[in-house]
Amino acid sequence: MKAGLLGLALIALAPAAAGQEGVADPREILGPPRSGTLAGPALDARTDEVASLLRCPVCQGLSVADSPSALALNMKAQVKEMCAAGYDREQILAYFERSYGEFVRLEPPRRGVNWVVWLGPLLVFLTGGVFVIRAVRAARKHPPAPGDQTSGAPSSSPARLPEDPTMARYVLQVRELAGGSGHLEPDRAAAASSPGDRRQRS
Amino acid sequence: MNHKVLIGGLVLALSLVGLLFANLGRDPHAVTSPLVGRAAPAFRLKPVGGGPPVDLAQLRGRPVIVNFWATWCVPCFEEHPVLVQAARDLGSSVQILGIVYEDEEERVDGFLRQHGQAYPSLLDLESKTAIAYGVHGVPETYFIDGKGRIVAKKEGPLTPETLTEYLRQASASTTQGPS
């Protein structure tokens, strides 16, 4: 009887006794590794690649590969261990995502609402392109007549003076100071050079 | 054309305002743990000061409080007496476990001798357990129900009130729902 109880107790304790110290093996969560085991420079390269895709949880916008914090170093050590055991990139990212959430991925995974992030810029670019093409086509259909003054601001023509005589005077003054009188319309030029202005044509 | 631009602009502006309004009052620093509602990651860790390893799986049937802490963490100092008192008051109905986060065994041992100890503090080599639990900083406390599921996570120091409230959730979850 005693031996039986002891046996039962041993059976009950066996998994715990056999289990290694530490936290549960990633295999219990992820299943068997999907890639081949790695070692040497290939292992270092894969470790850096995967660690650069993980966000350091205690830093501001740094990857696990770039952060010198103790937690990031420990995370990188775990990434290395998992790469060596043959877990592929997606499995390792999924392992960390399980405990830290999607936040831990520096690249948003291509699923659900995240597609907005991936396709949004492309969509904006294409929409902009459509607008540009339409504007160019419209401009080709109705080309502006040569000498057409209706398009653009009235002041775009160098010979024109503003309607307001005071403004016209100032414009004239500026033109003269700039070194040339320009092509003036006679009537406006006369209106602009009023007798009261002493600085005119001094 | 002007109407189209106006309507387009309104739709864009209103959707942005809606997004801002929906997130008003949300703490951008609050990180919700994806582990809440799921099975607590299993661990088997050695306690500070020696003794047989503690296995989480063998504590099923009663709520477990897992507290990540360190001697270099000031809020952990404030929290320590709250947890020690809770461990003494609650007895064997609840198991409290400390997990040492990025610290040295001698320092932790010294701290516990000086400030008292009422529950085991476990050593987590290379922070593997902390990583499995998604720990960002200390103190962080996980409340696990009798079925081994994480019911709640508390970031920052516990007060007697918050501890009681979370523990009530863990106890309720132990007796309810699917196993």
Instruction: Give the ipTM of the model, two decimals please.
Output: 0.83
Closest by Cβ to B134, choosing from A19, A78, A100: A100
Q: Under an 8 A CB cutoff, do B134 and A74 touch?
A: no
User: How far is it, in rounded angstroms, from Cα A201 to Cα A189?
Assistant: 12
Q: Is the pLDDT score of A59 beyond 60?
A: yes
Q: What is the phi/psi pair of residue B74, to 5°?
A: -65, -45
Query: For the segment B123-179, what is each residue's pLDDT rounded down to a tens digit?
Result: 998 899 999 999 988 899 999 999 999 999 999 999 999 999 999 989 888 777 655
Supply the CATH classification number for the domain A21-110.
Answer: 1.10.8.640
Averaged pLDDT for residues A41-59: 94
Mutation to test the A interface, candidates B59, B123, B131, most A Cβ within 10 Å: B131
Averaged pLDDT for residues B78-105: 94
User: How far is it, in rounded angstroms, from Cα A134 to Cα B151?
Assistant: 57
Distance from CA of B64 to the nearest CA of A (A): 16
Residue B47 domain flag: yes
Partners of A54 in beta bridges:
A105
Q: Under an 8 A CB cutoff, do A19 and B35 touch?
A: no
Based on the structure, what is the number of domains in chain B? 1
Cα dihedral across residues B57, B58, B62, B66: positive or negative: negative
Q: Which helix (H) or strand (E) holds A141?
A: helix A115-141
Q: Under an 8 A CB cutoff, do B102 and A78 touch?
A: no
Q: Tokens 């509602």 label which residue?
A: B37
Residue B78 lies in domain: 35-175
Q: Is the pLDDT score of B96 beyond 90?
A: yes
The model carries a pTM of: 0.71
Closest by Cβ to B131, choosing from A21, A75, A101: A75
Residues 97-136 of A with CB under 8 A from B: 97-101, 103
Q: Under an 8 A CB cutoff, do B137 and A58 touch?
A: yes
Cα dihedral across residues A31, A36, A37, A43: positive or negative: negative
Chains A, B: CB contacts under 8 A, how many? 71
Percent of chain A with pLDDT over 90: 39
Query: Which of A60-64, A89-93, A197-201, B28-32 has the least mean pLDDT?
Result: A197-201
Q: Under an 8 A CB cutoff, do A99 and B46 touch?
A: no
Query: For the segment A147-170, what is each residue's pLDDT rounded down to a tens digit?
Result: 555 544 544 556 778 888 898 889
**Residue B31 with chain A: CB contacts under 8 Å:** 101, 103
Distance from CA of A25 to the nearest CA of B (A): 9
Domain boundaries, chain A: 21-110, 157-192
Q: Which helix (H) or strand (E) holds A129?
A: helix A115-141
Residue B128 domain flag: yes
User: How far is it, in rounded angstroms, from Cα B150 to Cα B66?
Assistant: 10
- pLDDT band at A113, cuts 50/70/90? confident
Distance from CA of B44 to the nearest CA of A (A): 5
* CATH at residue B123: 3.40.30.10
CB A124 within 8 A of CB B12: no
CB B149 within 8 A of CB B39: yes
Q: Which residues of A42-62 are buried (b: 16+ CB within 10 A; e: fewer)?
A: eeeebbbebbebbbbbeeeee
Q: Is A163 on the interface with B (CB under 8 A)?
A: no
User: How far is it, in rounded angstroms, from Cα A45 to Cα A49?
Assistant: 6
Q: Is the pLDDT score of A64 beyond 70?
A: yes
Q: Which residues of B touch A (CB under 8 A)?
A: 31-35, 41-46, 53, 55, 57-58, 102, 124-137
